[in-house]
Amino acid sequence: MGTSTEKSGTETPGEEPGGGKPGEEPGGGGSASARPSSLSPSRASDFMTCPLLYRFRVIDRLPEKPSEAATRGTLVHAVLERLFDDPAVERTAQRARSMVAGEWERLLAARPELAELFAEGDGENGQDGDDGEERTPAAERLVRWLSEAEQLVARWFTLEDPSRLEPAERELFVETELESGLTLRGIIDRVDVAPTGDVRIVDYKTGKAPRPEYASGALFQMKFYALVLWRLRGTVPRRLQLVYLGSGDVLTYDPVEDDLRGVERKLHALWDAIRRSTETGDWRPRRSRLCDWCDHQSFCPEFGGTPPPYPLPVIPAQGRMGQV
């Protein structure tokens, strides 16, 4: 069983480690704790990266500060989505670049807290840091940041020709329940359907393409989307395509049913591990280079911190006996 509806939003599209999309499992900023009820690519990635990070985002819902990198990703995604509202002949690089400032104003109206990214003050967002070194004025940083977004948008035109594309779906919210009862959900940037009926799933990344040995991690998200569409529509997508605007690369993969069955098995195993951690309250931190981007170091034992009290009831070991 499953449903599919189109949903547009302005949340972070996952360009930074751990970022999420609207419609996916909660990723911080809330106040009430919650027992996990579904799985998205971002939250699955969180758990595989660090189970404690998953807990902080999904169960504790600890707030996280907006970042320039992730917000730039949101802005670029908005431009690339809305450009297709224009007639094909008007979808030019100049037109796309001109949309950046207006989309930033639209984003600010929807999420006023983003204004703090370029507010004058101390530290990262100010003129002077703790070391006394003079910082770039906020207004100048905003101009530079918008220019970087324009460059990313313009690079897209060297990788794809939007005047020759008519997406079937943009910012498509998808959700399906597997036979096991596990609910999968996510947001797909773009779905193209060829005259033959072949489906291509496209995702934009404002970062650089990973080295070949790390490509499987990037493709996991795309295979997740392919699995959801397959279970919803009964047909395996013909192609998965990652468009890396930061480096000007395009990574493609043509999945088959065995691939997606393997992803389904992996997700079931992952969900079993999440359920065990939820019941026991045992969320182990896993230190990696991605810790440099984590907002929760003050709560992490790896950095001398203490997690907040676990907000969910813990099931004693005896009460878990016989569970699958």
Locus of tokens 């072949």: 198
pLDDT at 46 over 60: yes
Q: How confident is the model at residue 319 (pLDDT cuts 50, 70, 90)?
A: low
Residue 317's DSSP bridge partners are: none
- The whole-number average pLDDT for the span 218-222 is 93
C-alpha distances in angstroms, 61 versus 43, 65, 90, 230, 311?
A: 12, 13, 42, 31, 11
Dist CA 146 CA 149 (whole Å): 5
The two beta strands, 169-177 and 183-193, are antiparallel
- The answer to whether 203 and 167 have CB atoms below 8 angstroms apart is no
Give the per-residue pLDDT at 134: 56
**Cα 280 from chain centroid?**
28
Locus of tokens 């802005």: 75
- Round the average pLDDT of the chain to a whole number and report it: 87
Written as six digits, the tokens of 26 are 């909660």
Q: Where are the alpha helices (DSSP H) in the chain?
A: 41-49, 51-54, 68-82, 93-110, 138-156, 215-233, 257-280, 317-320
Dist CA 251 CA 16 (whole Å): 18
pLDDT at 121 over 70: no
Q: Smallest Cα–Cα separation from 84: which of 95, 74, 73?
A: 95
Q: How confident is the model at residue 32 (pLDDT cuts 50, 70, 90)?
A: low
Residue 177's DSSP bridge partners are: 183
Q: Three-class SS of residue 296?
A: coil
Q: Is the dihedral of CA 145, 72, 56, 269 positive or negative?
A: negative
Q: How confident is the model at residue 131 (pLDDT cuts 50, 70, 90)?
A: very low
Give the per-residue pLDDT at 241: 98
Give the per-residue pLDDT at 34: 75
